[in-house]
Structure formats: C-alpha cells, structure tokens
Structure 1
C-alpha cells in the first residue's frame, strides 16, 4: 500500500474506509487498540493525578465485574451487528471498563479498533493502520465521547466498510455521559440492521456491599507500588466510603491516591471530596513550580529548557481544560489572544512536558488535565466565586471568555465543523472555535457541581454570545436544556438563534432547548394567543426531531386553544386556527392516522374558504387557502379518493396562478411544490403525460432552489425526482427513468446520513421505485438488491410506526416475492410471503374495507410458495381463505374482484387435485373458475382469453371418460 501526502496529511487504512472533509482531512481516525504503556514511575510521581488517567491503567481493574460480564454477554450474543450505548456521569469508570473489555476481547481473538473524532481538533498520524480482519473472531469498535460527535459524523462512521464485512460479527461500543443523544443515534444504526441496546453504569453500591472497599483496596495497592510502599494495608480511606460522593469510581480512586500520597509525603489527607480535589490540584501547582525552578531541566539537552512560570502555566492549563487537544496553529493563535508574556510556541512546548499528547503520533497541543472530572473541578476552582480552600485567579473570567469567543486563525480547520462536504461558513460570518463542542459541555458539567460557574460565568456569557451554544452542537444544547439551574434568559437567547426547519445534527438539541423554554413561557403567560403560538412552535421542532407523537399532542393542544379564541374573536383568530389545523393534519398523517388527518385538513380548508368569502379578503388569505388545499389533496390521495385529490390540487394551482398574474410574488419552491402535488394527483387519475409535465416543472424549480439552499430543499428535489422517474417509466422513457431514480436514491442516501429519523421513508420509497426501473431494464439482480434494501427500511419504519408504514411494507414484500418467484427461489420467497400476510392482517384489523383484497392476494401468493415447497396442506388452507375473501368481495363489486376470485379458484382446484380430494369437488371448483374466466374473456379477450382456454382445457382433461352401456 502507498500512502501519499495530500495537503500535508498522510494517513491510510487497510481494510476500512477513510471519510474526509473537502480539504482531505479525515472526519475521524481509526486505530487498532493497543495495550497501554505504563509510564515510568518517576514521571507519574511528578504529578500524582497522572495515575488517575484511565489510559495508563495504573489501578488494577476491580469492582465492575458484573458490568464487564454483561458486556461480554452482549458481545457474544447472536446478532451479527450490534451497538451498545454505555453511559454514566464523568468519573463513573466508563473508559476504564471499556479498556478492560477491549483488552480481554483482543486476548480472545477480536480485532479491537478505536475511533477518535477528528474535525478541527486533531490531525491524522502518519503512516497507516492495517485493519484487515484476517482470522479475527469479530470486530469491536470503541467510540469515546460519542455524545459529542455530530450525528452526521457518526452516520459516516457507521457506514465504514470495516463494520460491514460479510459473516463477520461486529460490535460498536459507544461511551457517553448521558442517554440524551441515543434516540437519534439508534435510529441511524437501524439503517445498518444493527441490534441496539443501552447500559447505564450505575453508582458503586453503598448498601453494605464490599464493592467500594474492594475498589479502594485494589487502587491503594496499585498506587502504593509506585511510591515504594510495600504494605499499604494500614492506610485507611481519608473519609467514609459510604458517603454519596464515593459512588463514582474516580472518587474512590482519588481517595486511594490521596491517602497513599499523603502517607508518602507525611501530609494529612483531607476528609471530603472537595478537599481531595484541592489536594491533587496543589500537587499540579507544585510540579509546575519545580519544573520552572529547576534551571537544569531540559527537554533535550542540546536544544532548550523549560521556561514557563507556574502562573502562566496555570492559565494555560485552564485554557486547555476548555479546548482539549488542538492543532498547533490553533493553540498558538489562542495563546497570543490571551496576551501571555512568552512566545506561544515556547509555552506550548513547556505545556507538552507537563501534559504530553495522548497519542504521540498525532501532533497536537494543549492536552487537557485528566481525568475530565478533575479538569472540570479545576475550572470551577480557578474561577472566583467558590468558598473552597483554593486560590481563584482574577484572570480566569477573561481567559474563559477569550477562549470561547476567539475567532480561529485557521479557516481550513474551522470550516470542518460545518460538515463533511468541506463547505466553509458564509462569507463575512465568523467561524467558531473548533473546540466549542468540548468547552460548553465541560463548563456545563462543572456548573452542576459548582453553581457559581453557571450563575457568574457560563450563563452571562451565553446571554451575550448565545451563538456559542448553537455552534457547540447537539450535546451542548442537550446538557444546557437538562440542567435544572440553567438561566432562563440564557436559554431564551439561545432559543432565538436556533435554526428553523429540519437540522440533522441539532434536531434533538433544538427540541430539548425549545421544550424547556416554551414551557417556561407558557407558565409565565396568561395570554391564550401566546400560549397557542408557543405550542405551535414547539410542535414543529418536536416533529423535525422525530418526536411525532409529542408533536401531534402539542399541536392538538394548540388547535383547541385557537378554537376557543376563534369563537370569541373570529376576525382576529380564525386564520390562525386554520393554519394550526393544517399543521396538525400533517402530524397526524405522519403517525398513520389518515382519516383523522383528512378530517382535520378538510376543516382547515372549510375555515379558509369562509375567510375568503369575508369582506376583508387579502392575497395572504387566498395563499393560505391554496396551501390548505395542497395539504388536503395529499390527505385525500392517502385514503384513495383520487378524483377529489386531483380537484383540490388543481384548485390550489389555480389560486397560485391567479395570484401570480395579479403580481403577488411567490418563491420558486412554492410553485415547485404546487406542481409536484398536482403531478402526483394527475398520475393517480391515469393522466400520465400531464403528470409528467407538471413534475418536470417541479424538478426544474427544485434544482434552482437547491443551488441556493441545499439544506432546505434537497429532500424536495429527491422527492420530485422519485416521482419523475416513475412517470418516465410509464411513458417508456426507460433511460431517463433510470437516471432520475438513481439520482433520487443518491440524494436520499445523503439525507439519511444526516437524519435517518426524517428521511428513511423517502429512501425506502426511492429504492422501491429504482427496483421497478431495474426490472424494466432487465437488471434482475440490481432490482432485487434495491427492493430488498427498501424492504429492510420499511420493516424498521413499520416497527416504529406500523400505521404509517405497513401498507408500503406489504407492497414491497409483494414485489420481493415476485422477483424471487421469477427465479424459482421459492424457499427464499416463502418467509417473505408469510411476513406479507402478517402485515396485511394488521392492516385489515385497522380497516377491513380498504385492505381485505390485499390480504386475499397475499394469501394466494403464500399458497403458491407453500405448494412449491411441498407444504401442500398449508397451501390449501391459505388459498381457501383467499377464495372466501375474494368471493365475499366479488359479491359486492364483481368488476373489481372477479378476476382474483377466478385465479384463486383455479389454484384451489389444483391444490385439491394434488391432495387427491374428491374429484367432484375439484371439478365443481374448477367449473366455477372456468365460468368466471369465460365471462371475463367475453368482455376483455385480450387480457383473459388465453387463461380462459387454459382453464377450459384443464376441465376437459379432468372430466371422467363417459361410461358405456
């Protein structure tokens, strides 16, 4: 393999993918897990807190055996691909547990790989990683700080070829502080057919068990060995381990470390958690002072010496606790902004002596103090406002503000925070620091234990610069929304800057902030109009985050308020009620509640018509009616009322045309939506050429707006292309149909990587239509692959929301059966037909009139597959049920159901004949089929004449020979 440097980077992997930004920098780094190297004892003793760093594994693993056993059980479970979200607060022992699990898994033949998030913070190591699995039992991927990754970046990671090797068990262990981000991640994982689960790391038990004492003893012995204390058994804990503070693994380890260090230095150990923290931070200060005071201390005797004073180092360590490891240019620019007296490169070099990079092969600076919880406490204690016995620094508030509000000098790095396409921020827009996704959650975590951090620093800063929270990402927004003591004004300021419309990476954080803020607003107001407006806004953001039931509930409450207000003051409030009804209809449809959605849409249109008939009609009122009619057209189509749907769509388009002729301006996207809706409704009525013309206009319009704002309109272009491809196929423009279908699938795949919750359904539909085009082109294998992928997506969607997706799932399963049957793959088709029957039964239970015919045909196909698999008795039962349903339906609507009845009767006669049933019964059934086919052939010979002749010949063949006298 050749690794070629591009733009200064040289990183490669064998056996996996590299996902990069536009400038070639990897989105994340994959590395084989390595057994940690235990540092030299003297180096550890220089700064005792180093022994608490999980990556050095100084303390022997103990106290989490049950959690470890559960991870092993999960790893060895049956699913081929599984992911687990392991979460707990900082200091709970997640990293150490994962390291022990990684070590034992590697010993047992698993290939263990770690993923480090890379954009704007780290550069890749030189060389390459050989990730070929060869003789591995499976692959285990460990992702630390998973809650800080943007969802789109995790989506790219999950698509890596390393995790999709045929017949190779794959496990993904994601470490996080909370479970807040898990729903979105879980939905993304479902795209890859991964089994998902969570594991909350509980506090250490204090109910009389020996768990804490055992952990203390093990850690004390491990630490004592580095101090040369042969028998540490007489070193007691500095405080009672039953205290709630010692529910954290880190707290117990800190108690053991401080107790041992105090014994070795002749000091008195503190007796509370704050005191333990201060003790360890004092040792950090002592280390900085010793390095600076020792003039002979040299990094390299031939080059330079350590020159940074303890006061300056204190400030740099404070800044590093916020930034975490960053590229050297970012670190240099930041220190210069702080106005430190020495040149920045020298300070960064000296800082690297105290806190070397976690991975020496990655050239980063400003490695933070570890463990994370100690860094958070260090930030809190350095900021003035606490009562602990630790010297606060007057420069700390200004330093924090400078670090957080800095405009990075490296646009190439900061641009990466905006997405894997490498798109830079808008011209004139300040690029945010690349480390905000660490800094804001770190300060938020510190504020949970040290209230002055929030009240005096974090929230005043966010009120002045609320964009920092938005730029920090989903995890930061969640953390702020979940904090009980969060400042209301700060959250309000953040909420006002949240993006409108769908946003893949921030959707759940946006919903959490909005939920927190809206309920506070609702509680503060007696104004019913404001109450309703707030609920409408919240419903929209819940909807975009995938919380459809909550969105519908919130919208329903809003509608009820608007009803009351419209009764009292219709002139002012009726239009707002109509708009609220329109949105509520959309949310109901998303839940699969089609009849309720239709009734709500009809009410919205009726109300808008009344407003149009009033004395003060405006162009806005007419436009609102047009929007409501467009929604009504979709809802009517969903319940099979195609003619009425077309009428509504045509009226909506006519309103838009009339207003446009009168000089009312519309956005290109609005006109494109009208054409798309009209085209779909025309197609439903068989007016294919007209439909094609309308949808072609929609495609052209959406292409224009996507060039300007792809984030807002790509899903509309993908939808339009999907419909366009279907209609092109109907007019035999196969090459154009394939091109449109393939482009639609490509766009939907890009959208799913950003938000599977929002776009899985679109991709599933596009894949199904692509499969249809592939069949027409004679590409059977590709057709099956696309249809099978569509079925897998619809299975997942139907599991979450059967009402909205069962009908589509049944259709796709029927297509899969047909494709397999055409290749005589009956054994593979049988379980699919069985699944389809089960789905159809669910549909019939909800709406017999709409779905009984579909169930009957699914039973017929199931009987065919059962027969081909020599399961004749079960085949007969299935086709008998199909006949019963078709006979009942044909009695009410012969034209619609006689052909299926004749087909099922013919199959039933064959089944009874094969099972040697009474020949008179076989002939009676066959005769009924023959009579129906003769009737059908008379009315439509082109369709039914051949089958009628076949049935007639079969009947003649089975008639007994006439008996002579």
Structure 2
C-alpha cells in the first residue's frame, strides 16, 4: 500500500504527481544539444525558482545525460570533480540552477579546460498554458488525496510552482490568489514541512514578515534565508541588515548563498574582509564578485580604482574567470596610463607592475604574443625608472625575469637567456649590498638561468649555474626554514635538468639532497610532504637506473612505492594514480631485462592496471593516457611470458584509446602515450604480429603528427614513426608501401634542414627502405639508386656502426640486381662512389 504524500511532498517535482506536459521548444533544444557533436558538453538550464526547470530536466534526461540539480549550490571543486568523473566518452552534463553570473562563467571556463563545450538554455514563462496546467494539477492532486476535483478558475501566478500550490489549496477547499496566504496555509496543514528548497524558503520568508522574529544563525537557516532573499524583498532587507551588523556570519554561510549579498554594497563592504580571509572561498567566484561590487561602489580617485581593478583581476584569475580577469587587468593598465600622463614619476612603477600582471592574464587566455608585448613594455618602463632611481632596480630585475619566461614560452631561447642573464646580474649586484633582502630572488633567478642555459645547450655553463642555484637555495633554506619546501622542489627540478642533459651523477647528488629535506618535512607533516618524498624517490630510482646502479635504483623504487601506498590508502584518485605510475616505473626499472623477475614484474604491472581501471572510468580525461600506458606495459610483459591471448585482448583495447582522448589531453600527454604504444608495437613485431604492430605504429604516427608545433621532439619523432609504418607495411606486403615510404622521405625533408639530414642515421634508413621497396616492385630504380647511394653517404658522415653501414650498402646492391640493366646500374653506382667518396678507390 502506497504511503499518502504530505502536501509539501505532493508539490515536490521529483514525485511527479502532476505529469509533465508542454515545453515542446525546450525539449527540442535539449535534444539538439544532446545529439550534437563529438565533444563532451555541459549545458546550464537556468531560470527563476519554480518555473519548472527540474521537471523539464528529469523528464528529458536519459542514460546519456547526467542531471545536476541546484548546481549553483555546489562548491566549485565538487562541481569540477563531477565533470572530471564523467563516465561517457561523449559526456552530456545538464546543470540546473536559478541563476547564471560569474559562478557559471567560472564553471564554463574550467569545463573548457576539460575539453567540454558549454551552452545554456532559459525556459520561457508560458502564461497561456496556465489554465490547462492548473486544471491538470487540481485533477491529479484531488485524485491522489481522494478529494473532489475543484472547479476554481486559475489564479494569476508567476511560475508553475505558484500555480501548483494554488491548485493544492483549492483541492483542500482553501482557494487564494495571495502568495503569502498560500504559504501560510501550507505551513498550517503540513506537519513536516521541508527544511530545504523552495517551500522551506517561502515558509521562512513569510515567518520573517513579523519583524519581531529573528532568523536562526545556523548554516542551513542562513542559506535558506539568502535563497529566499532572491524572491522576497523583505527577506533581502533582513539578510542585508543581519550580515551588515554581524559580518562574522559570512564564516557560517556558504559561498553560493553569500553570492546573493555580494552584489549589494552595504553587506558586501561588511563581509568582504571575512570572505577574503576565509580559505573556504579561495578559488571560488565569490571574492571576485565582492571585489567587483566594491569597485562599482568606489567613490575614490583613479589610483584607488586602478588598485581595485588589479585586485579584481587577481581574484577573478584564482576563480578561473580568465576573460573577466583580463578585462580587469586591461582596465587597471588603462587607468595607470592616464595617471602616468599626469605624474610620470609617481605612477610609472605602478604601471610597470600592472603591465606585468596583464602579461599573466594574457597567458591564461593563450595570447602569448600580446603577453610578450606587455612584458617588454614593463621592462622598458622599469629601465626608465631605474635610470633615475636605484631603488627601482629590484623591479627591473623582476620584470626581466618575467620577460625571460615569456620569451621561453614562445621558443625564443636566446632572447630568453639574455633577459634572464640580465635579471641574474642585477640580483647579484643587489644581493651583494643587501643579502638578507635579495637572497631569495637571487636564488630563484639562478635556477631560471640554469634552465635557460640548458635550453640553448650551453651545458657546462648550465651545470655551473645549476650548482650556483643549489648553493644559493641552500643558504635561503638555512636562513629561513619556511623555504625548505621550495628548496626541495627546486632541487628536484635541477636534478631533472641535469639528468635530462646527461649529467646523471650530479643529478643523483642533487636529488638525494632533496630527499633528505623532504624526509624532515614529511616527518613533521606527512599529509603535505609524503607525496613529494615519494616522487623524489622515484626520480632517484630513474637516475640510478641510468647510471647502471640497479640495486640502489631498486631500493629507491621500492621505497617510493611504499610511500605512495601510505599516501593512497584513503583512495584519493590522484594518489592512486601516482601509486600506479610508481608501480609502472618499478616494472620498467632496474630488473626490467632480468627474466628471473618476470613473474613478479607481471604481478606489479597487473596491479597498476587494476588501480587505474576505475580511475579511467570515473576520470577519463585525467587517467585514460595513464591507463593505456599501463595496459601497453602489461601487454609487453604478457608477450614476453608467452601469454599471447591475454596480450591480444589488451592490444585490441589499447588500439581504441586515441579516439577516446580529448584533443587537449592528447596535446599534453600524447608523447607519453606514443612512446608506450611504440614499445608495444616493437614487442608485437618480435612476436610476429606485424598486422597488429602496423595498426599501433599508424596510431603512433598519427599522435606525433598532431603534436607537431606543440611538442619539441615531435618533428623527428613523426618522421621516425612514419618510417616505421612503412617498414611494417613492407613486412605485410601492403599495397600502399611505396606511397608510405615516399611519405617518410618527404616528412624527413619537411622536419629537418639539409645540414641536419647530412648525418642523420634515421633519414638514411628511410632512404634505404624506399630504395628496397622500389627494387621489390621494380619501379623507379634510377631514382632509387641515387637515394640508396645517398643513404650510404649519410651513414658515412654519421660514422655509423659497421653493421648499420653494411645494411645500407646491401640496399644499393638490391637496387642494382633489380635493375633491367644490372651492369649499367653497377657502373653508375661505382661512378657515384668515385664522385662522392674518392678515397675508397
């Protein structure tokens, strides 16, 4: 027997006592959104409370659409996690909320980072349908309660909720067209009124019509009051009075509810300090909305307005309101330009700082060239200031350091080095006169200088700069232990640089020092520093492995996994992903070529896959690549262990991963995925599975093609990958082999200069392959002979190993033997050698 619903429950749209009807246009718009495009998408369905958003959303939703009701009430990080957790490759997330504004702008911009498109839809009011809606509601409420159906005409109503409340009252014999009387009637007849939502808000608002009644000050009560204030003017007045008199209540209410007051000058001024200092609201849109209100209410001069625009830009940037932050930063710069025109000496430093901030905001919206122009202007201004005032040299040094970062981001490495070197020299001079004040800045720029020197491959100078940075950072940490954490992170960065450029012994020393520091920090604060300790131990294992010190490398790897297990024991997705990565490093680490350890390595690889499988389902954007890499690793081991059938199943699954990846993720992690797939393709060739290897190799080539212009190593990697696909096509006698071999030659020419190709072994291999393919089908043999000979010359210039060189010579012989006139071809080949390599004759 079904329970009889209370009056409040009868009105709850989730119970659907009154069937959904109408909204044809909105349903069609939602269907178009659901069915459009291949990208994941989030849509905001917004409108006043009671207009029927929830009914519409739940009527429309199916298994392909995830509905989030009251989305504007969720903390920003929960909403972001929800988007990350989308389980569909082409996710559709429908957010339902009463308002738009900056909270939605922040969600939209963060969603774009996850490769979501965004849209919004506002249901229109349908007063022409109110008569039918009222009659339907009366009939269904009467039937549910076993009461007669009333014949009352529909009252005037703003929303579907108001109409349904009037219908429910009419069924009970208490018709009214006064919203206040209807709410009072409901409160009288419902013995268990809801504590949250529209009905609770209306009951509280009507109660507060009596000025003698004070609202409660619990979180739920304050949130209900502030939500009611969106519709009831007297509730808004009461909320303004309460928070203006007691601004500390901002520490009780939630960000979403406080947004109602954030646009009102008096309460905004009162609660601003409490909100700005509350860690709960960091990275939320609320501080930015408050700052915007303070700015619009500001009665000060241009200087104060400029400062407020700068604050707004910073707070908007923290909330991912990048376009809004950019607009505020532009306004700040414009105001300071006007002030500089009035008083250059007073306001040039502030304009320089504002330009530096503008550069950051431009980077956030990927306008790198404009950012560089702002940084260059900031440096120019600082130089002018420093010429007249030595006290402004620190500002010039900071501006040069930032300019170096901008040049580096655009790949202008020499200019980046010049700017950073000038910043270093200035800080060196400043620190000599005042070590305590400039010690930290000097250490930071020393690190940046080492990076810039490594970028231009001045390795000896870079190593010296790295050593100098370590010494200076050590002095910073010794003088002030608060900087020990940053010291450890800098050491880890420098160790990675040294290792990447072949100075592994030095790297091992530096990373060991970072581990010593992190051990101390982790002992005092495990939650914050154990993850960094685990990462540093993993880096040490990698360096030691490259130094061929396997026992030490294995010990570091095992300790890294042990620490990650502690960090991940609560199931945090990021920590679990890091644990899986550490297990993967252990599999590929010091014992990777030792068959004795194969069963243990298989078990570890399987654990990594099983850890990542649920993460790849819940967080496809963040973990699909890691999952695919772990699967590729496991498949290689299964092949090596002779478990072919298990390997084939994994390979077939891995082959589909690229199609499921958002383009942004592919640009960020495609290199890692391509490398893992290439290793698996090589293992498949060894297992005589050339067809599967070819499919993987083509996928690898496609990834590197997409990374051209986004990855430093992509040009050469793409050329090599296309060559590999041609090799595999030849192995399976593919009809497009010649076309692919020709493409491989073309790609080398497009990605490297003639001087670079003159001694490039990979290019020589591609030329030899093309010649062999021509010989095999007896086509274009005269050109093939020239290319085969060129391959020999390139390998000679590269001083290739004898067996490598012999294979290229063998390609020449293949072309000669396939030629219609072998004797003439042999004579031509000898003439080419005599011309290009006379010493051999």
> What TM-score does the superposition give when structure 1 sets the normalisation length?
0.61
Distance in 1, matches of 2:607 and 2:758, equals 34
The residue aligned with 1:54 is: 13
Distance in 1, matches of 2:222 and 2:450, equals 46
The residue aligned with 1:347 is: none
Structure 1 residue 812 corresponds to structure 2 residue 708: no
Distance in 2, matches of 1:797 and 1:645, equals 41
Distance 1:799 1:139, change over 3 A: closer
| 1:168 Cα deviation from its structure 2 partner | 11
| 1:543 Cα deviation from its structure 2 partner | 5.2
| 1:902 Cα deviation from its structure 2 partner | 0.9
Whether the aligned pair in 2 keeps the contact of 1:829 and 1:865 (CA below 8 Å) is no
Structure 1 residue 238 corresponds to structure 2 residue 155: yes
| 1:730 Cα deviation from its structure 2 partner | 1.5
The residue aligned with 1:507 is: 283
The residue aligned with 2:473 is: 656
Paired residue for 1:946, among 803, 806, 812? 803
Distance in 1, matches of 2:234 and 2:396, equals 45
Distance in 1, matches of 2:590 and 2:469, equals 35
The residue aligned with 1:410 is: none
Paired residue for 1:681, among 489, 492, 497? 497
Which runs of 5 or more residues in structure 1 are unaligned?
Answer: 1-36, 106-137, 289-352, 356-366, 384-390, 405-435
SS in structure 2 of the partner of residue 90 of structure 1: coil
Whether the aligned pair in 2 keeps the contact of 1:92 and 1:201 (CA below 8 Å) is no
| 1:283 Cα deviation from its structure 2 partner | 0.9
The residue aligned with 1:341 is: none
| 1:867 Cα deviation from its structure 2 partner | 5.1
Structure 1 residue 249 corresponds to structure 2 residue 160: yes
The residue aligned with 2:696 is: 829
The residue aligned with 1:853 is: 716
Structure 1 residue 354 corresponds to structure 2 residue 192: yes
SS in structure 2 of the partner of residue 58 of structure 1: coil
Whether the aligned pair in 2 keeps the contact of 1:672 and 1:698 (CA below 8 Å) is yes
For residues 456-500 of structure 1, give each alpha carbon's deviation from its aligned partner in whole angstroms, at most 9, with x where no partner exists: 43564377454x54565554465555x45673313422343133x
For residues 137-171 of structure 1, give each alpha carbon's deviation from its aligned partner in whole angstroms, at most 9, with x where no partner exists: x68765544444446656777898xx86xx99987
| 1:928 Cα deviation from its structure 2 partner | 1.9
The residue aligned with 2:744 is: 879
> What TM-score does the superposition give when structure 2 sets the normalisation length?
0.69
Paired residue for 1:381, among 187, 206, 210? 206
Whether the aligned pair in 1 keeps the contact of 2:149 and 2:171 (CA below 8 Å) is no
Distance in 1, matches of 2:353 and 2:92, equals 46
Distance in 2, matches of 1:549 and 1:642, equals 40
SS in structure 1 of the partner of residue 195 of structure 2: coil
The residue aligned with 2:268 is: 488
Whether the aligned pair in 2 keeps the contact of 1:715 and 1:751 (CA below 8 Å) is no
Whether the aligned pair in 2 keeps the contact of 1:538 and 1:551 (CA below 8 Å) is yes
The residue aligned with 2:136 is: 218
Distance 1:463 1:213, change over 3 A: same
| 1:687 Cα deviation from its structure 2 partner | 1.2
| 1:932 Cα deviation from its structure 2 partner | 2.7
Distance in 2, matches of 1:677 and 1:152, equals 28
The residue aligned with 2:705 is: 838
Greater shift in the superposed pair: 516-525 or 86-95: 516-525
SS in structure 2 of the partner of residue 448 of structure 1: coil
Whether the aligned pair in 2 keeps the contact of 1:522 and 1:534 (CA below 8 Å) is no
| 1:690 Cα deviation from its structure 2 partner | 1.5
| 1:873 Cα deviation from its structure 2 partner | 4.7
The residue aligned with 1:96 is: 55
Equivalent positions of 1:267-306 (< 5 A) are: 269-270=176-177, 275-276=178-179, 278-287=180-189
Structure 1 residue 909 corresponds to structure 2 residue 703: no
Equivalent positions of 1:449-468 (< 5 A) are: 449-457=231-239, 460-461=242-243, 464-466=246-248
Structure 1 residue 955 corresponds to structure 2 residue 812: yes
Distance in 1, matches of 2:186 and 2:483, equals 61
Equivalent positions of 1:180-191 (< 5 A) are: none
SS in structure 1 of the partner of residue 753 of structure 2: helix
Structure 1 residue 923 corresponds to structure 2 residue 785: yes
The structure carrying a bigger helix percent of its residues is: 2
For residues 166-193 of structure 1, give each alpha carbon's deviation from its aligned partner in whole angstroms, at most 9, with x where no partner exists: x9998765544456666887899899x9
For residues 188-221 of structure 1, give each alpha carbon's deviation from its aligned partner in whole angstroms, at most 9, with x where no partner exists: 9899x99776553423246xxx444443443243
| 1:822 Cα deviation from its structure 2 partner | 2.5
Distance in 1, matches of 2:462 and 2:321, equals 28
The residue aligned with 1:12 is: none
Distance 1:948 1:98, change over 3 A: same
| 1:768 Cα deviation from its structure 2 partner | 8.8
Distance in 1, matches of 2:291 and 2:417, equals 26
Distance 1:951 1:152, change over 3 A: same
Distance in 2, matches of 1:455 and 1:154, equals 30
Which runs of 5 or more residues in structure 2 are unaligned?
Answer: 334-351, 357-377, 613-622, 630-656, 825-841
SS in structure 2 of the partner of residue 667 of structure 1: helix
Whether the aligned pair in 2 keeps the contact of 1:532 and 1:561 (CA below 8 Å) is no
Distance in 2, matches of 1:788 and 1:559, equals 41
Distance in 2, matches of 1:581 and 1:885, equals 35
Distance in 2, matches of 1:702 and 1:521, equals 48
For residues 755-807 of structure 1, give each alpha carbon's deviation from its aligned partner in whole angstroms, at most 9, with x where no partner exists: 99xx99x99998996785499467687699689624989989996869xx847
Paired residue for 1:575, among 386, 394, 398? 394
Distance in 1, matches of 2:452 and 2:241, equals 45
| 1:85 Cα deviation from its structure 2 partner | 5.6
| 1:691 Cα deviation from its structure 2 partner | 0.6
The residue aligned with 1:516 is: 292
For residues 825-859 of structure 1, give each alpha carbon's deviation from its aligned partner in whole angstroms, at most 9, with x where no partner exists: 23541552343243244449xx9xx8643443343
Distance in 1, matches of 2:526 and 2:299, equals 38
SS in structure 1 of the partner of residue 22 of structure 2: coil
Distance in 2, matches of 1:679 and 1:752, equals 30
Whether the aligned pair in 2 keeps the contact of 1:902 and 1:932 (CA below 8 Å) is yes
Structure 1 residue 559 corresponds to structure 2 residue 353: yes
Distance 1:566 1:633, change over 3 A: same
Distance in 2, matches of 1:867 and 1:440, equals 73
Distance in 2, matches of 1:97 and 1:612, equals 66
Distance in 2, matches of 1:681 and 1:230, equals 82
Whether the aligned pair in 1 keeps the contact of 2:417 and 2:452 (CA below 8 Å) is yes
| 1:453 Cα deviation from its structure 2 partner | 3.7
Aligned pair count reads 716
Whether the aligned pair in 1 keeps the contact of 2:272 and 2:287 (CA below 8 Å) is no
The residue aligned with 1:690 is: 506
Distance in 2, matches of 1:478 and 1:731, equals 57
Distance 1:218 1:820, change over 3 A: farther
SS in structure 2 of the partner of residue 91 of structure 1: coil
Distance in 2, matches of 1:520 and 1:646, equals 52
Equivalent positions of 1:705-854 (< 5 A) are: 705-706=521-522, 708=524, 716-717=532-533, 720-721=536-537, 723-732=539-548, 733=550, 734-736=553-555, 738-739=557-558, 773=589, 776=592, 789-790=625-626, 806=667, 809-810=670-671, 812-823=673-684, 824=689, 825-843=692-710, 852-854=715-717
Whether the aligned pair in 2 keeps the contact of 1:219 and 1:256 (CA below 8 Å) is yes
Distance in 1, matches of 2:566 and 2:743, equals 41
Structure 1 residue 204 corresponds to structure 2 residue 65: no
**CA root-mean-square deviation:** 5.2
Distance in 1, matches of 2:723 and 2:542, equals 27
Choose between structure 1 and 2 for higher RCO, CA contacts under 8 A separated by at least 6 residues.
Answer: 1
Distance in 2, matches of 1:671 and 1:797, equals 39
The residue aligned with 2:365 is: none
Distance in 2, matches of 1:642 and 1:475, equals 53
Distance 1:222 1:197, change over 3 A: farther
| 1:694 Cα deviation from its structure 2 partner | 1.0
Distance in 2, matches of 1:619 and 1:521, equals 41
Whether the aligned pair in 2 keeps the contact of 1:601 and 1:631 (CA below 8 Å) is no
Distance 1:595 1:82, change over 3 A: closer
